[in-house]
Chain A
Amino acid sequence: MAKKFSKEHEWLEIDGDVATVGITDHAQQALGDIVYVELPEVGKKLAKDGDAAVVESVKAASDVYAPVDGEIVEANEELDANPALVNESPENDGWFFKIKITDASQLDDLMDEAGYKAFVEGLED
């Protein structure tokens, strides 16, 4: 399984034509304590860069965008009861949704782990 990253600080773990999507450790640190996550409904069709989810900290709400075109096939219902999972395990148990990819060529625009790490370091300079 390949893991990819977007400039919007999402990670995608790709298994066949389905990607599991969440926000990165860097993103959760920047957001702080997550108190609510609004997830897309299963069956919803999303376009790349369209609104996919909302993540709320004590202070503010932030949009999470769809990293690729596709259809939501599963949402992480655990986050309803325990939104802090996003802080505790952002790149595993704190996943947001699974999306069935409709245009695999869009994956080429994403970064690999080393590329994302360099991107984040560039932001901090």
Chain B
Amino acid sequence: MADQQAENLYKTALYDLHVELGAKLVPFAGYAMPVQYPLGVKGEHLHTRAKAGLFDVSHMGQVRLVGENRVAELEKLVPGDIAVLKPGRTRYSAFTNDDGTILDDLMITNAGDSLFLVINAACKDDDIVHMRANLDNGVELQELSDRALMALQGPEAANVLARFAPDVASLKFMSFVEIDIAGIPCFVTRSGYTGEDGFEISVPDTDAEKLARLLLAEDEVEAIGLGARDSLRLEAGLCLYGNDIDTTTTPVEGDLNWIINKRRREEGGFLGADIILDQLANGADRKRVGIKPEGKAPAREHTMVLNKDGYDIGEITSGGFGPTVDAPIAMGYVAIEFAEPGTKVDLMVRGKARPAEIVGLPFAPHRYFRG
């Protein structure tokens, strides 16, 4: 990356470490981020599934909502049941808009005295404006812009982290704890974006490099870039905002019905509820599905999906190669009558129709720690 270009980009607290580790840095959502390290995307991907990988995700937004009415106010903007979340529990959700489509997806944690939110880097400025404009009744939004965020993911992640903070070993998937890791005060959530067991760790910027070095010094841990992060989450069937869900897709179309909890289905009261609840009751015209190309050629995002009669029935939104399944994999949207797993379709890659099949997600099984 040319220096001139780098100067216009934000740097995370781990920027110098990335450079030292030999990372290839690319612009991503306004930040200079490591897309890969010398191990390479495939090696990093396989290492994460075999042992443990450390990801810098400090570009993501971290905010705290305080005020007595924070739960009810946030529920105006998301379709999840936040009131039911106990202290120390985390839930995946989405900001919807009046059209019933998705402004961003996010993690919401009941941190006891506040709600702790993690939002996407590319959306965070808009999300904050959206929340400030809509959260009333004394709810205050605090940007935690002096904190880094890293993810430690993989089957050895818990063993590694427990060396520095033994109590994390018993933390369950989608749970949260404020805990010292080697004396550094952290917010730890047992969650991630790889399908593996693991943690997301929010740490003050000033201690981020120290913590990262400590974790990387463990035998099982390698630094992992955004390239492998993308192939890992695609194998895990997880949505990438901007590709698989955006302001043209509703949660129902995105096969995210499960984020619309029972009470919210009955009560509504979130942006776009009329449209989303109507789709829940009557079905949507299209749906996000897994797509498995036959053969070895990957089909990338925006590849057209055809039925066997040659008609356009949809589009791939994320596609590439899955190092763990050792085959091309994809997800995308197809017309609802073709969404059933087992349906044979064609993918138009470089002017040629190539056979593929609709499949269930994920491609690689989730291995979360549910206690």
Interface on A for B, CB 8 Å cutoff? 32-33, 35-36, 38, 54, 56-61, 80, 83
Contacts and interface: CB of A to CB of B under 8 A. Distances in A.
Contacts of B350: 38, 54
Interface string B36-50: 100011110100000
A68 to B, nearest CB: 22
26 contacts: A32-B36, A32-B41, A32-B227, A33-B40, A33-B323, A35-B42, A35-B296, A35-B328, A36-B297, A36-B298, A36-B328, A38-B297, A56-B298, A58-B41, A58-B45, A58-B228, A58-B320, A58-B321, A58-B323, A59-B35, A59-B231, A59-B320, A60-B300, A61-B298, A80-B296, A83-B296
Nearest to B320: A58
Q: Most A CB atoms within 10 A — which of B231, B300, B321, B323?
A: B321
A57 B323 CA distance: 11
Contacts of B43: 33
Interface in B272-312: 296-298, 300
A58 B297 contact: no
A93 B258 CA distance: 50
Contacts of A33: 40-43, 323
A80 B297 CA distance: 10
Contact of B42 (A38, A54, A58, A60): A58
Interface residues of B, number: 20
Given A59-B227, A59-B230, A36 B323 contact: no
Contacts of A61: 298, 300
Most buried by A among B42, B227, B323, B350: B42
B61 to A, nearest CB: 25
Contact of A56 (B42, B227, B231, B321): B321
B1 to A, nearest CB: 12
Contacts of B45: 58
Contacts of B321: 35-36, 56-58
Contacts of B228: 58
B4 to A, nearest CB: 13
A61 B328 CA distance: 12
Contacts of B36: 32
A86 to B, nearest CB: 13
Contacts of A83: 296
B298 A32 contact: no
Contact of A32 (B42, B300, B320, B328): B42
A54 B40 CA distance: 20
B227 A58 contact: yes
Contacts of A54: 350
A80 B176 CA distance: 47
A52 to B, nearest CB: 12
A35 B298 contact: yes
Interface string B200-233: 0000000000000000000000000001101100
Interface in B37-72: 40-43, 45
Given A32-B42, A58-B321, 19 more contacts: A32-B40, A33-B40, A33-B41, A33-B42, A33-B43, A35-B296, A35-B298, A35-B321, A36-B296, A36-B297, A36-B298, A36-B328, A56-B321, A58-B41, A59-B35, A59-B41, A59-B227, A61-B300, A80-B296
Contacts of A38: 297, 350
A56 B297 contact: yes
Nearest to A83: B296
A10 B43 CA distance: 25
Interface string B227-262: 110110000000000000000000000000000000
Contacts of B297: 36, 38, 56
Contacts of B320: 58-59
Contacts of A35: 42, 296, 298, 321, 328
Pick the 8 closest A-B CB pairs, nearest first: A33-B42, A35-B321, A58-B41, A58-B321, A36-B296, A59-B227, A32-B40, A56-B298
A32 B39 CA distance: 10
